[in-house]
C-alpha cells in the first residue's frame, strides 16, 4: 500500500491569502464602486529594466540559431553569471566569495525550502517569529516538528521578535543547530547591524550550529553602516549559507532567478562528529534534483550587473524606497508605532491592542486598502499588520490620503 | 551540532560522465587531429523552432511594460498553458485530463526527483534496471535504501530489463508500493504497448500501489498503436502520475519547462488505510517549495501548441528519428542486436559479451565516436552501450561510416 508522508498532515492549512481574498471580495461586492488598493503581497509592480530586457532578448536570439543554441547548461549556473555575482555582490563588498561557491537557482523560495534536506531529521531548528512561512512549512514536511497547538509547532525553537527586543532575534538559552535569519526582514522590515550579526556568527561557531541567512531584500539597504552580506562578518564563511534573489533586486518575481552561496569552508558533521563539506552536499542535491536555470533568464540576470543595468535597478529600488518613506511618514503622523520602511520595502505597524485581522478589516472597509495581517507570519504578529511599498506612487499617495481620513 | 542527512553518504559517486570526459580527453591528447563525434549525452542540438522563439520574445516584451508586466504567477502554471496541454496532449488522445490536474514545472528531472517526498519513508520502491539515475538517487537521499553493494542498493526492488523479457519490466513477485516506469525508455529506447501498461495498471489497482510514469520521450512515438499517455489505459487515473517535458519534445533542455499530471481521482493512504488526495499533497509541495516557471518560458511553451509550432516541432522530431533510423540500420548491418531507434531517440546496443566500458573504448579509439556505457544505468546495462540520435545528420552519417570501417 502506497502510504503518504504523514508529516504533511501536521501542516496548518494556509488560509492567509485565501482569507484575505475572501474578505476583499465581500467588501467589493457590497461596494461595487470602490477602487481597492492592494498593499498586501510583496510583489514588484514595475517592468523589467531596459538593460535586463535587452539581455533577455539576446539570450532568446541565441536559442534561435543552431550555432549559438544552448542545451543543458551547468546545473550550478553559467560561469558568466556566477563570476559577476561573486565580484559585484561579494568581492567588491570585501567578502571573499568565489564564483564556484555560488549556485544559481530559480529563486530563493525554492532554495530556502530545499536546503533543509541536507540535514539530519532530529536537529533543533530555531526560527524567528514572525517569519516567512516557507522556512517553517518545509521543516514540518520533513518531520522536524510535532503537532501544531496554540499557534506553534512543538519541537521548533521560536525566537520572538517584538518591540521589546527591537525585533531582533535574541541568542537562544538552549543549544540549537540550524538558525534561520532574514535581514532586511520579511515581514518586519527591520535590519540587523554588523554587531548583531556578529553575535550570531559567534554563537554558531561556539555551538557548531549553522546559519541560513536570507538576504533577498539586500538591495534595499541604503545605510552604509549595515552589512550587505553575512560574509562581511569575520568567520561567517565557516558557519553561514546566504540566499539571494533577483526577485526584489531587479523585479524577477515572474522571471525567476536567485542564488545561494555555500562557502567551501562551511562544514557540518556526521554522527561521529567528523566534518562534512556542505558545499559538496548541496552540489550533489542541486545536480541530482535540479537542472539549471533557463539560459535566457541567466542572460537577463547577467544584465543586472551591466553599467546601465546597475543604474536602472537602483532607480527602481529608489522608487519603492520613496513609497516606503511616504507610507512610514503617514503611519507616524497617525500616531502608530512601526518598524521598517528604511532599507526595506516593508512597514510593520503596531496596531496597539488591535487584533491584526480587526486592523486589516478597518483598513479595508474604511479606506479600501488591503494589507497583510501580521498573524499570518506567526504568533508574534498578532497585533501587527504589514504594508508593502511595491506599488505605483499614485496608488501609494491615494492610499495614504484615504488612511489619513479613515484613521483621524 | 549541525548534523548531515547521512543518507547522502550512501550515494555512489557519479563518475559516469566524469569518466567518459577523462577517457575522451586522453584520446584527444594522443590524437590531436582527431575530430571526435559525441553521441553519448541525450541533449538536443537543434535551435528552438521559430514559433517558439516568437512566443518567447513576445513574453519578454510583455515584461518590458508596466501594464503588461507579470510578477508572481500561479505556482501551478498559467491557465493558458495548462489548458493547451490538457486539450492537445490528453483530451485529443481520448484521455480525460483537465487543466487543473496539470502542474507546470522547470523540468521532468526536478519533478521525478521531488515527487518521492510525498511518500512515507518505509515504502517499497520498484525500479527498472537499467534506469535513469535520478529516480534511484533521490530515493537513496530520502533514506529508502540500505548500503550499495555489488552494483545495487539493498531495500530497492530492481526489475531487470533484458533481452529475455524484451526489456519490459515484469510484474514483481512480491508487493511493491511505488513503481517507476519510463516509456519510450531512457536508456533502452524500448516502448511499452497498451497491453503491457494495462498489466501494470491492474497490478497497481490490485495492490494499492502507485505508478510514476515518465513519458518525457512521448513525442518520438510514431506508431499509432502505442499509447502516448498512461491515461489511455482504463483505470490509470486512480493509480498513476505522469511526467512530461518540453526538453526533448521542443528542444527545451536549456530553456527549462515540463509538467506533471496528478489526476484528482488518484489516492494514496495513511497508516490507517484512509484515502489521501495525491493532487492536494503535490499542490501543497509545489506551492511551498516552488514558485512557478518564468513567464516568457511559459509563453514559449504555449507556442509549441500553435499551428506553426506543431508543424515545426514535428519536423525536428522527424529529423532526429531519421538519425535514429540510420544508426539502427548501421548497427544491424554490423551484426549487433539492438533495441530502440524507433519511436525513440535512443539505440541500446548489445555488445554480446563485451563489457560496456570496453565497447565504449573500442568506439572511441577506433572510430572517434563517444557513446554512453550501459553500466552507468545499472547492473543490467553491463554489456550494452547507448547511442543517442540527437546530433546533426552530417555527424551521424560520418560516425556511421567510421563505425562500419572500425567494426568490419
Comparing CB atoms, the residue among B65, B137, B295 nearest residue A254 is: B295
Q: Give dist(CA A349, CA A386) in Å, integer.
A: 6
Give the closest of A120, A178, A291 to B6, CB-based: A120
Are B135 and B112 spatial neighbours (Cβ–Cβ below 8 Å)? yes
Does the distance separating the beta carbons of B56 and A296 come in below 8 Å?
yes
Cα of B102 to nearest chain A Cα, Å: 19
Residues 233-262 of A with CB under 8 A from B: 251, 253-256
Pairing between β-strand A267-269 and β-strand A258-261 as defined by DSSP bridges: unpaired
Instruction: Decide the pairing of beta strands A369-370 and A125-129.
Output: unpaired
Q: From chain B, pick out residues whose CB is under 8 angstroms from the CB of A211.
A: none
Q: Cα–Cα distances in Å, from B47 out to A63, B41, B232, B314, B317?
A: 6, 17, 32, 14, 12
Instruction: Name the closest residue on chain B to residue A73, using Cα atoms.
Output: B254
CB contact under 8 A, B69 and A45: yes
- Judged by CB atoms closer than 8 Å, whether chains meet at A255 and B6 is answered as no
CA distance B32 to chain A (A): 23
Strand, coil or helix: A291: coil
In the block, cell 552536499 appears at A281
- Is A6 touching B (CB cutoff 8 A)? yes
> Which residue in this structure is represented by grid cell 516606503?
A324
- What's the gap in Å between the CA of A47 and the closest CA on chain B? 5
Which residue in B has a C-alpha nearest to residue A74's C-alpha? B254
Distances (CA, A) of B84 to A407, B91, B236, B305: 48, 10, 21, 7
Give chain A's domains with CATH numbers: 11-47+308-407 (3.90.1150.10), 52-304 (3.40.640.10)
Cβ(B170)–Cβ(B121) under 8 Å?
no
**A89 CB neighbour count, 10 Å cutoff:** 25
Q: Which is nearest to B334 in space by CA: B284, B262, B277, B385?
A: B385
CA distance A259 to chain B (A): 14
ipTM of the complex: 0.97
pLDDT by 10s per residue, chain A, length 408:
999 999 999 998 766 888 898 999 999 999 999 999 999 988 999 999 999 999 999 999 999 999 999 999 999 999 999 999 999 999 999 999 999 999 999 999 999 999 999 999 999 999 999 999 999 999 999 999 999 998 899 999 999 999 999 999 999 999 999 999 999 999 999 999 999 999 999 999 999 999 999 999 999 999 999 999 999 999 999 999 999 999 999 999 999 999 999 999 999 999 999 999 999 999 999 999 999 999 999 999 999 999 999 999 999 999 999 999 999 999 999 999 999 999 999 999 999 889 999 999 999 999 999 999 999 999 999 999 999 999 999 999 999 999 999 988
* Any A CB within 8 A of B207 CB: yes
Which positions 321-360 of B are in contact with A (Cβ < 8 Å)? none
Please give the Cα distance from A127 to B50 (Å, whole number): 49
Among chain B residues, the shortest Cα distance to A248 is held by B71
Reported for A78-85, long-range contacts at CB under 8 A and 24+ positions apart, including other chains, are: A78/A104, A78/A295, A78/A298, A80/A298, A80/A302, A81/A298, A81/A301, A81/A302, A82/A259, A84/A302, A84/A305, A85/A244, A85/A259, A85/A305
> Is A17 in CB contact (< 8 Å) with chain B?
no
**Nearest Cα residue to B252 out of B286, B296, B215, B300:** B300
Measured CA distances, B164 to A124, B161, B338, B360, B378 (Å): 52, 8, 13, 23, 17
Nearest to A263 by CA among A77, A76, A82, A100: A100
B322 confidence band (pLDDT: 50, 70, 90): very high
A contacts of B11 (beta carbons < 8 Å): 284
Amino acid at each position: 500500500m502506497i502510504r503518504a508522508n504523514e508529516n504533511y498532515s501536521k501542516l496548518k492549512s494556509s488560509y492567509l491569502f485565501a482569507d484575505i481574498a475572501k474578505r476583499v471580495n465581500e467588501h467589493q461586492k457590497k461596494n461595487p464602486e470602490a477602487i481597492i488598493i492592494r498593499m498586501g503581497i510583496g510583489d514588484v509592480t514595475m517592468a523589467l529594466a531596459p538593460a535586463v530586457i535587452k539581455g533577455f532578448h539576446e539570450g532568446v536570439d541565441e536559442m534561435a540559431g543552431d550555432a549559438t543554441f544552448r542545451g543543458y547548461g551547468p546545473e550550478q549556473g553559467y560561469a558568466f553569471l556566477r563570476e559577476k555575482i561573486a565580484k559585484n555582490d561579494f568581492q567588491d563588498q570585501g567578502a571573499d566569495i568565489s564564483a564556484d561557491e555560488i549556485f544559481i537557482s530559480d529563486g530563493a523560495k525554492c532554495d530556502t525550502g530545499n536546503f533543509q534536506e541536507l540535514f539530519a531529521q532530529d536537529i533543533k531548528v530555531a526560527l524567528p517569529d514572525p517569519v516567512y512561512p516557507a522556512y517553517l512549512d518545509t521543516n514540518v514536511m520533513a518531520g522536524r516538528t510535532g503537532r501544531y497547538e496554540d499557534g506553534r509547532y512543538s519541537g521548533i525553537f521560536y525566537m520572538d521578535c517584538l518591540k521589546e527586543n527591537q525585533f531582533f532575534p535574541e541568542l537562544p538559552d538552549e543549544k540549537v543547530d540550524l538558525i534561520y535569519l532574514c535581514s532586511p526582514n520579511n515581514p518586519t522590515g527591520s535590519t540587523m547591524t554588523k554587531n548583531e550579526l556578529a553575535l550570531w556568527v559567534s554563537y554558531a561557531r561556539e555551538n557548531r550550529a549553522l546559519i541560513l541567512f536570507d538576504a533577498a531584500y539586500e538591495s534595499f539597504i541604503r545605510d552604509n553602516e549595515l552589512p550587505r552580506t553575512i560574509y562581511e562578518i569575520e568567520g561567517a564563511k565557516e558557519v553561514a549559507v546566504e540566499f539571494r534573489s533577483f526577485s526584489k533586486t531587479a523585479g524577477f518575481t515572474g522571471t525567476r532567478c536567485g542564488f545561494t552561496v555555500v562557502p567551501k569552508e562551511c562544514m557540518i558533521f556526521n554522527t561521529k562528529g567528523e566534518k562534512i563539506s556542505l558545499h559538496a552536499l548541496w552540489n550533489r542535491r542541486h545536480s541530482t534534483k535540479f537542472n539549471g536555470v533557463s539560459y535566457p533568464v541567466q542572460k537577463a540576470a547577467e544584465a543586472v550587473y551591466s553599467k546601465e543595468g546597475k543604474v536602472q535597478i537602483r532607480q527602481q529600488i529608489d522608487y519603492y524606497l520613496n513609497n516606503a518613506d511616504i507610507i512610514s511618514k503617514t503611519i507616524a503622523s497617525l500616531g502608530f508605532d512601526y518598524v521598517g520602511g528604511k532599507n526595506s520595502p516593508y512597514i510593520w505597524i503596531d496596531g496597539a491592542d488591535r487584533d491584526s485581522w480587526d486592523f486589516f478589516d478597518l483598513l479595508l472597509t474604511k479606506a479600501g486598502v488591503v494589507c497583510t495581517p501580521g498573524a499570518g507570519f506567526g504568533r508574534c504578529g498578532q497585533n501587527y499588520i504589514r504594508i508593502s511599498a511595491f506599488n505605483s506612487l499614485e496608488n501609494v499617495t491615494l492610499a495614504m490620503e484615504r488612511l489619513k481620513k479613515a484613521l483621524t
